[in-house]
Structure 1
Amino acid sequence: MKLPVAILAVFASIAVTIDATVYFKEQFLDGDGWESRWVESKHKSDYGQWKLSAGKFYGDAEADKGIQTSQDARFYALSARFEPFSNEGKPLVVQFTIKHEQKIDCGGGYVKVFPSDLDQSNMHGDSQYYIMFGPDICGYSTKKVHVIFNYKGQNHLIKKDIKCKDDELTNLYTLILNPDQTYEVKINNEKVESGSLEDDWDMLPLKKIKDPEAKKPSDWDDRAKIDDPTDTKPEEWDKPETIPDPDAKKPSDWDVDMDGEWEPPMITNPEYKGEWSPKKIDNPDYKGAWVHPEIDNPEYSHDAAMYKFENIGVLGLDLWQVKSGTIFDNFLITDDVKEAEEFGKETWGATKGPEKKMKDEQEDMERKVREEEEKSKNKDAEGGDEEAEEEEEEDGEEEDGAEEDGEEVEEDAGTEEDSDVKEKDEL
């Protein structure tokens, strides 16, 4: 009996879910309960402190709560333990969300996956880890995603440059390491880089090396062009680069005894043709560029277990931040790529839209407040100008009044003088 396609799809989905193993998940949904699961390193006494926060803007006040760096210019060292496991024969997926709402200028946003024997109370920058993954930002030059694997005790950086997000919103970072020694890096559930461990890291010696016994033959001519042996320099070619100015004249007041012998200034020779060189022709003896032959590298040995880590057991945050405020959330370590993708949709995917809306509304409100403050400042400035004009007008009116009073006084004084003259005449 054949089952309907829809039922088969359901069975397949259930099978995938059953097969998926989640080794570690942390969403900080139980208030301060996270403090019992995470251990702060005591390696230094001045590590920065963490706090539970959804930040200044968010999509869900509770679901978006994560641990946030709270002190500027500090190292941070925090880790959580889980049941140890090996990723042999299956994918390893490391995923988390991060929000740099403080407009980070310099600081790490990556996680480290440690072996289970890590002493969490003494975790520090030199503690040996298996994987380091996540964004790192410092100025304009460093804005990249670190992907570092430890192989035989040595840390190896990826040779590719993967650009990280540098905005202030929450972003989802995913690293997938497959047992076929391939990898994939996703940001916000979209692939940004992929390849193989052997090609993109210098973990193994080169497969091929230049043959140390091979040397370029002494008669090997690798010049594609040569000088034409039949080409000769024209007789009239050699002209000086500069010549005395023929239009220059000795000044009339030139004194040989005082000024020395007069010489006309030099100018560029219009007939100067530069340095002559014969024309080029194809080299009849050209054999092409010599390629150093390669041989198999005797030190190379394929390792099909480069991807494998035997004792994964701790997830840590070991980083430095100049400006604090970064929020880490939604940690997941699993062996199922689909599980990680769905978890990303349920967490980051569900709140990214409302988070951006809230941020945009806050910025719009802040912009309006700034505009109102600017208008108020301009209005106060205009009011001050009007008051100054009114004061000037009042001062002008007072001066006009004083002038009028002076004229009246002068008129009265003139009348008194006339009266005195009349009195004298009568006498």
Structure 2
Amino acid sequence: MKVAFLLATLAVAASAEVYLKETFDDSWADRWVKSKWKQSEGQAGDFTLSAGKWYGDAEADKGIQTGPDSKFFATYATLDKVFDNTGKDTVVQFSVKHEQDLDCGGGYIKLIPASSEKQMESFGGETPYSVMFGPDICGYSTRKIHVILTYKGKNYLIKKDLKAESDQLTHVYTLVIKPDNTYKVYVDLKEVASGSLFEDWDMLPPKTVKDPKAKKPEDWDEREEIADPEDKKPDGWDDIPATIPDKTATKPDDWDDEEDGAWEAPTIPNPEYKGEWKPKMIPNPAYKGKWVAPDIDNPEYVHDDTLYNFKDLKFVGFELWQVKSGSIFDNIIVTDDFDVAKAFAEETWQKTKDAEKEMFDKVKKEEDEKKAKEAPPPSSEEPAEEDEDDEYEDSKEEPAHVGTIKLPDEEESSGHDEL
């Protein structure tokens, strides 16, 4: 642990417990185990200690960074003691910096139960977990915060769409689950979501369902409008033909009545014709609306006040797929008190974030200036006149593809193992 941050820890309530606090110092590998998952296939990447290219404090901002590209990453640590959250808040918090400008990959953390202990040597996408929380980014369509909870052996994804931060700076993600079955999600210590475990997950079936035995009454009228029984067809309506002879037409000069028959002028649409008569429509006085089967109590619904309850949380881990590696994870805490987690974030991320941003801006400015210097000078020669046909041919060319990225098979796509 970094001594400076340990000395700066604020006083907290005596009842609060911290089950894991990790700031990643030089001894981090003594506490974290690299999974054997994907190693035999040569698809496993590594985590290395680094503060990255920009930081607020070279030592304090060290975390574990993914590398190389297009690999699976899996590592875990054991909590200081098994966490039974019965009657307690569950708080998991960590920071992540997608220094590489992550284009496709996971950035989330998992809380894993003691019941998965025999599988932890090869901890990976198939290892049962209790909570999965954090950002997941892939292109512009997927930039969300996962909150997945396990209930009776099945994983349930939050129904809300929570936006993840996708810049190249460090951000802190905090999840709080309370024993009254409510939750809160914070990003950089600001609340971005809250609600009920009952309402925002489908862990329990609905309380009510439509009565499958109900039938629409025979006299139920769903017609919004009906023909006006008082409306009558005007006299002579049906006497108006749809077409009439074209009065402007003349018999061709070469027409022979004996050979061609009696000449008749061609017909044209009758401007007086109004079509088939229909009575006007009026609101139906007997309209009852669209019939819907009545709700009844769902016989499969059983209320459960223990949705929040995980009695044997024992491990914390990262299990990720990243196309472009370089994410740095730091400052993990698992506790039963949000104030403890908040104080920890204030003593770590908050103290260095402004300096990190300053260094980031400086590095980016230097990179831009270097690119400008290395760019070839503009040509002083007059551009040759292009033949119009050549210009047309050039315009038809499709843009060249810079390269392709082979994604893992869907069943192995653990970078996005939502459920």
TM-score interval, smaller chain? 0.7 to 0.9
Q: Who is 1:388 aligned against?
A: none
Q: Who is 2:51 aligned against?
A: 54
Q: Who is 1:80 aligned against?
A: 77
- Structure with greater Cα Rg: 1
Q: Tell me the TM-score normalized by structure 1.
A: 0.75
Q: Who is 1:89 aligned against?
A: 87
Q: Who is 1:196 aligned against?
A: 196
- Percent identical among aligned pairs is 52
Q: Is the 8 A contact 2:151 2:203 kept in 1?
A: yes
| 1:172-212 superposed Cα distances (whole Å, 9 cap, x missing partner) | 10110000000111111111111111111111121111223
Instruction: Give yes or no for the alignment of 1:37 onto 2:31.
Output: yes
Output the CA distance in 2 between the equivalents of 1:247 and 1:318.
84
Q: Who is 2:306 aligned against?
A: 305
Deviation at 1:244, TM superposition (A): 9.0
Change (3 A) 1:244 1:327: farther
Q: Who is 2:373 aligned against?
A: 372
Q: Is the 8 A contact 1:181 1:197 kept in 2?
A: yes
Q: Who is 1:362 aligned against?
A: 363
The structure 1 residue matched to 2:18, chosen from 22, 41, 45, is 22
Deviation at 1:120, TM superposition (A): 2.3
Deviation at 1:44, TM superposition (A): 2.3
Output the CA distance in 2 between the equivalents of 1:164 and 1:238.
69
Q: Is the 8 A contact 1:81 1:116 kept in 2?
A: no
Q: Is the 8 A contact 1:103 1:167 kept in 2?
A: yes
Q: Who is 1:287 aligned against?
A: 288
Output the CA distance in 1 between the equivalents of 2:280 and 2:143.
50
Amino acid at match of 1:209: V
Q: Who is 1:110 aligned against?
A: 108
Output the CA distance in 1 between the equivalents of 2:53 and 2:356.
10
Change (3 A) 1:36 1:223: same
Amino acid at match of 1:215: K
| 1:73-110 superposed Cα distances (whole Å, 9 cap, x missing partner) | 11111100122120110100010001111111110011
Q: Who is 1:414 aligned against?
A: none
Change (3 A) 1:210 1:248: farther
Output the CA distance in 2 between the equivalents of 1:169 and 1:357.
11
Output the CA distance in 2 between the equivalents of 1:201 and 1:207.
14
Output the CA distance in 2 between the equivalents of 1:39 and 1:373.
44
Amino acid at match of 1:122: S
Q: Is the 8 A contact 2:120 2:127 kept in 1?
A: no
Change (3 A) 1:266 1:168: farther
Output the CA distance in 2 between the equivalents of 1:249 and 1:106.
77
Output the CA distance in 1 between the equivalents of 2:149 and 2:246.
72
Q: Is the 8 A contact 2:242 2:269 kept in 1?
A: no
Instruction: Give the unaligned 5+ runs of structure 1.
Output: 1-12, 253-264, 386-427
Q: Secondary structure at the match of 1:338?
A: helix
Instruction: Give the unaligned 5+ runs of structure 2.
Output: 1-9, 254-265, 383-419
Q: Tell me the TM-score normalized by structure 2.
A: 0.76
Q: Is the 8 A contact 1:130 1:309 kept in 2?
A: yes
Q: Who is 1:207 aligned against?
A: 207
Over aligned residue pairs, what C-alpha RMSD do you find? 3.0
